[in-house]
Chain A
Amino acid sequence: NAGVTQTPKFQVLKTGQSMTLQCAQDMNHEYMSWYRQDPGMGLRLIHYSVGAGITDQGEVPNGYNVSRSTTEDFPLRLLSAAPSQTSVYFCASSYSRRSGNTDTQYFGPGTRLTVL
């Protein structure tokens, strides 16, 4: 299994540009999420999904959109990039979260995004 994969690894955008960060997992996990990590801070949840067709907002959703058309993929879209979105973005997945406690989350390697 490849686990959780993210592309691209690095990206530089200009203010106002849009782009999609890709995330895929091959573990048949129902739960997927996107976090951003800023220097000296922990991870903050952007959006998450408990299964195909279901998404919800996390702590810092503004400026980002997500969709979950398949179990495997969970892309994150930046609608109009701003310098404040310069960060490292991590995608994670875990087993079913619809009932029971949270499970171990498996993280991708991250995407380093710079917005000029």
Chain B
Amino acid sequence: SQQGEEDPQALSIQEGENATMNCSYKTSINNLQWYRQNSGRGLVHLILIRSNEREKHSGRLRVTLDTSKKSSSLLITASRAADTASYFCATDEGARGSARQLTFGSGTQLTVLP
């Protein structure tokens, strides 16, 4: 079963605009990660936010986490055509000290139009 579900499934914006993607999950987590996948390629890690953090920045990326609502958002500011990709959230919900796994959502397909 999938833990994280992204919303929207597809997003199309103009270059220079901001893109916001949301992720909802069902159980308690240790951390939440965002990955990007360009067409036909493997996933690339973007950012990790721990359960005791509320916001994190990395370059043009801003991630928020609301554990009370079991949701996270990824904001890409000043988007570029090169940001066109699928974006996935992944949650780590295992018990501390155990061999934990990441559970991926179904992704948001972002298209940035030049």
Contact = CB atoms under 8 A, between A and B. Distances in A.
- Contact residues of A: prevailing secondary structure: loop
Given A33-B101, A102-B100, A110 B107 contact: no
Contacts of B45: 104-106
Contact of A101 (B31, B99, B101): B31
B88 A42 contact: yes
Q: Is the interface on chain B under 10, 10 to 19, 20 to 34, or 35 or more residues?
A: 20 to 34
Nearest to B50: A101
A43 B88 contact: yes
A58 B101 contact: yes
A45 B43 contact: no
Contacts of A99: 97
Contacts of A50: 99
Given A101-B31, A102-B92, A90 B43 contact: yes
Interface string B1-28: 1101000000000000000000000000
Contacts of B33: 102, 104-105
A56 B99 contact: yes
B61 interface: no
Contacts of B44: 107
B99 A108 contact: no
B92 A101 contact: yes
A50 B98 CA distance: 10
5 contacts: A43-B104, A44-B104, A58-B101, A102-B31, A105-B35
Interface of A: 4, 33, 35, 40-45, 48, 50, 56, 58-59, 90, 92, 97-99, 101-110
